[in-house]
A and B are shown apart, each in its own frame.
Chain A
Amino acid sequence: MRVLIAEDSVLLREGLVRLLEEEEIEVIAAVGDADALRSRVRADPPDVCIVDVRMPPTNTADGLIAATELRAEIPGLPVLILSQYVEPHYALALLDGGADGVGYLLKERISAPAEFLRHLHTVAGGGTAIDSAVVARLFDRPRRHDPLSDLTERERDVLAAMAEGMTNASIAEELFMSEKTVESHVRSIFQKLDLHVDSRTNRRVLAVLQWLRT
């Protein structure tokens, strides 16, 4: 797997490079600003980009904007956003252009390398990974007539796992149940929330997150 890293903090960038190299993952480039990210990806698209939200030149959301542009140019380019912000807005902005190969994780997740690498592989393989803190924030959002209270505790766990981008198989594994049980939970949840989505994992992430946001 060929990885490109775009992160302006030298400390963190070096840490990431070391982490990936220890796992014998090839880092084809490690850059510190959004312009370098654009030119390197255009010249030689990697299997996955790890991108910081806030980067030079303007030090606002340059990384996120560059990633969104690049995904529009190169459809399906896997991008894992590393962020300091628990902001559903950013995750949704990225998912808006298609959920295939998209990740949004908080920076501190790199301190748990095994999980971090699992998410990296998911994204590189075209899957979706949304930080559990972002999903939790949406879950905790107060609602006037909360349909979430109609869900069983098990159903809520399944919904949260769906929002994080997990496939039915991963959910089954994570929650120690059969895939068939997961499927029936999903049907029941969609019915209770009045959600009409086809069961393809990547589309349903966006639908679920958007439902949680409104």
Chain B
Amino acid sequence: MRSKAWPVVAMTALLSVSAWWAQTSTLERYAHVGMYLPIPEQLWLQLVVGWAFVIAGLLARRHRPDSRIGSLLALFALVWIGRLSFVAPSIQFEAIGWGVAFYGVLFLILFTFPTGSLTGWERWAAAGWVSLVVVLSVLSVALTDFYAGVDVDGCCPSHILLIGDDREMRELIFAGGGSAAAVVFTGIVVRQFLRWRRATFVGRRRLSTLGVALGPLMVLLVLVPTAGLISPSGFDSYIPDRWARLDVYVQSAALVVLPGVILVELLRTRLSQAKVGDMLQSLVNTMAPGELETRLRQTLGDPTARLVFHRDESTERVDVDGQLISHESLEHSTVTSLDDHVALAHDPAVDSDLALSAGAAARLSVDNARLQAELRAQLREVQESRRRLVTAGDDARRRVERDLHDGAQQRLVVLAASLRTAHRRGTDAEVEQLLIAAAQETEAAIGELRDLAQGVHPAILTQAGLNAAVASLADRAPLPVTVSIGPDRWPEEVETTAYFVIAEALSNSFKHSGAHQIDVTVVTEDDALLVTVDDDGRGGADPTGTGIRGMVDRVQAIGGRLHVGRGPIGGTRLLARLPLTDQAS
């Protein structure tokens, strides 16, 4: 829905011509009674201000149809220029128009920037304020006889609203109205400042621009005495002195700057819309989802913007990396739906039309991004389940070891002791022979069972840590193994993985490498455990072999990485990086 511009232009032009005619002819006609403008430039300065507002308003309406600021700017212009026609003695209403335009419409613009709309209590407050402005403006004129004691065409009260010339009452109205205006203006400044404080990144930038616009207006209100401006306190006050001239220049300059600043801010979004077009072009080449998101952020000027994907057959929402998005993390964002599957979460201050058009442009790539996000989410699930499988396997091994320790091993020890006692108490040489053999067999079984339990799960790893457990591996190694591990303890999952990786690497080296020496080093680095196993063997370990494959699986299950390559002492180097912080991916 776009309003046509030409009726407004035509109306403004008509009013300008009318103002020009009314002022020049009135001045000419009533020159003999001393009617004149404070300075000759005043008329065209007033027209420049009016046209500045009307142009800004029309441009704003054209490019930001969602905001009513454009219409308000145009309204200001119509009232502002329209009042200039009412200078004839019988209809001296110029001051009423000034009050309504300045204190009514302009205050509304500042109050409602950037949307131009009012909600709830604001409607009532604004309606009340505008009514008060109208009433006071009309009253002040009705209580002023501009031509008191002067013969105007030898007739009549000097204007049709005149009730009577009451200077005291008038001054009371100026004082009261002026104070109320100052309070309301301060209220607007405070309100916009509080908004700025609360605002998000994008909103702040927007409101900062408004601060620039408020600056000149502040100067206007402080430097130019309100009472002197709203209306002459009598015909006498229109004395064309130097100060009055300055008043007019400052006022006009401020009023020309204001619509310009407002327009620039409103056009900024328009410029952003142009960026959407740029983005569209770059999207012709398929883009990675992360890159797409970066482009969206640039286009919207919102570093917090992100794509939100609804997963198929699930209420979960994930980001471009397939990570779950919580409800809380979206609390301070506006979520603009692009289709059933994808939405764009962005700063609430980002214009919703802009978000929608950027999102629509991105749709070309979004389907691709959504499928990738779905894939990543599935990958994450697979990784989590792999981790659970490994953990469950480790738990089972630990249980088996414990059962052996508490059960069979103890029983065999008691059995061996009983057999030895029976042997000592025996009398039959043949039976004694059998008993001693049975006792020795049992003791051998105890030894084998001990090794078996150790292989299933090394109790010393849980009891004394990686350092002691790997040293124990080194004690039983057929080759010299140098162990360099601190006495620190790490999460059970990490220790277990590190232990099995080291055990597997050692056993590979013993069997295949022909090494004479193996070094095992474990250090922590940036939230990760770095496990290094170097041997001085032939090298050339096969990374696709089942042994190494198994290690890779274990390491990846807890989100780590494993690398097998050539080592510094000539043989094979195995390097595992195990994250100490929990990261399922």
Contacts and interface: CB of A to CB of B under 8 A. Distances in A.
Interface of A: 8-9, 11-12, 15, 19, 53-54, 59-61, 64, 84-90, 93, 107-108, 110-113, 137-138, 141-144, 213
A89 B476 contact: no
A54 B417 contact: no
B417 A110 contact: yes
A75 B481 CA distance: 36
Given A89-B464, A137-B475, A144-B517, A112 B420 contact: yes
19 contacts: A8-B406, A9-B410, A11-B411, A11-B414, A15-B414, A60-B463, A86-B450, A87-B468, A89-B464, A89-B468, A108-B413, A108-B417, A108-B443, A110-B413, A111-B413, A111-B419, A111-B420, A112-B420, A137-B476
A112 B440 CA distance: 11
B463 A61 contact: yes
A4 B385 CA distance: 49
B471 interface: yes
A141 B474 contact: yes
A144 B459 contact: no
A142 B477 contact: yes
Contacts of A86: 450
A87 B474 CA distance: 11
Given A89-B464, A108-B416, A11 B410 contact: yes
* Residue with the greatest number of chain B CB neighbours at <10 A, chosen from A11, A60, A85, A93: A85
Interface of B: 402, 405-406, 409-411, 413-414, 416-417, 419-421, 439, 443, 446, 450, 453-454, 459-460, 462-464, 468, 471-472, 474-481, 516-517
Nearest to A110: B417
A88 B475 contact: yes
Contacts of B475: 88, 137-138, 141, 213
B410 A12 contact: yes
Q: Which 4 A-B pairs have the closest CB atoms?
A: A61-B463, A111-B417, A111-B420, A89-B468
A87 B473 CA distance: 10
A110 B409 CA distance: 14
A110 to B, nearest CB: 5
Contacts of A93: 464
Contacts of A9: 406, 410
A89 B472 contact: yes
Contacts of A12: 410, 413-414
Contacts of A213: 471, 475
Contacts of B413: 12, 107-108, 110-111
A53 B410 CA distance: 13
A112 B419 CA distance: 10
Nearest to B471: A89
A64 B411 CA distance: 22
A12 B413 CA distance: 8
A51 B459 CA distance: 17
Contact of A111 (B443, B453, B471, B517): B443
B419 to A, nearest CB: 7
A152 to B, nearest CB: 23
B343 to A, nearest CB: 50
Contacts of A90: 460, 464
A11 B412 CA distance: 11
Nearest to B443: A108
Given A8-B406, A15-B414, A108-B417, 17 more contacts: A9-B410, A54-B459, A61-B463, A61-B464, A85-B450, A90-B460, A93-B464, A108-B413, A111-B413, A111-B419, A111-B439, A113-B420, A137-B476, A141-B474, A142-B479, A142-B481, A144-B517
A85 B480 contact: no
A67 to B, nearest CB: 14
Among A59, A89, A138, the most chain B Cβ lie within 10 Å of the Cβ of A89
Contacts of B463: 53-54, 60-61, 64
Contacts of B478: 142
Contacts of B454: 85
Nearest to A89: B468
Contacts of A107: 409-410, 413
Given A9-B410, A84-B405, A89 B460 contact: yes
Nearest to B468: A89
A115 to B, nearest CB: 11
Given A9-B406, A111-B416, A85 B479 contact: no
A143 B459 CA distance: 26
B479 A87 contact: no
A44 to B, nearest CB: 28
A86 B421 CA distance: 24
B195 to A, nearest CB: 59
Contacts of B476: 137
A19 B214 CA distance: 99
B213 to A, nearest CB: 71
A184 B190 CA distance: 98
B473 to A, nearest CB: 11
A111 B415 CA distance: 9
Contacts of B405: 54, 84
Contacts of A61: 463-464
Nearest to A60: B463
A61 B446 CA distance: 20
B462 A60 contact: yes
A108 B453 CA distance: 16
Nearest to B406: A9
A86 B475 CA distance: 10
Contacts of B409: 84, 107
A113 to B, nearest CB: 8
Most buried by B among A88, A111, A144: A111
Given A54-B459, A60-B463, A108-B446, A143 B411 contact: no
Contacts of B516: 144
Contacts of A137: 475-476
Nearest to A64: B463
A93 B460 CA distance: 13
Contacts of B450: 84-86
Nearest to A145: B480
A159 B448 CA distance: 27
Contact of A15 (B417, B419, B480): B417
A132 B402 CA distance: 25
A108 B409 CA distance: 10
Q: Name, among B420, B443, B459, the residue most crowded by chain A CB atoms within 10 Å (CB to CB).
A: B459
A93 to B, nearest CB: 8
A152 B88 CA distance: 134
A31 B420 CA distance: 25
A42 to B, nearest CB: 24
Contacts of B406: 8-9
A122 to B, nearest CB: 20
A113 B406 CA distance: 22
Nearest to A16: B417
Contacts of A141: 474-475, 477
Contacts of A60: 459, 462-463
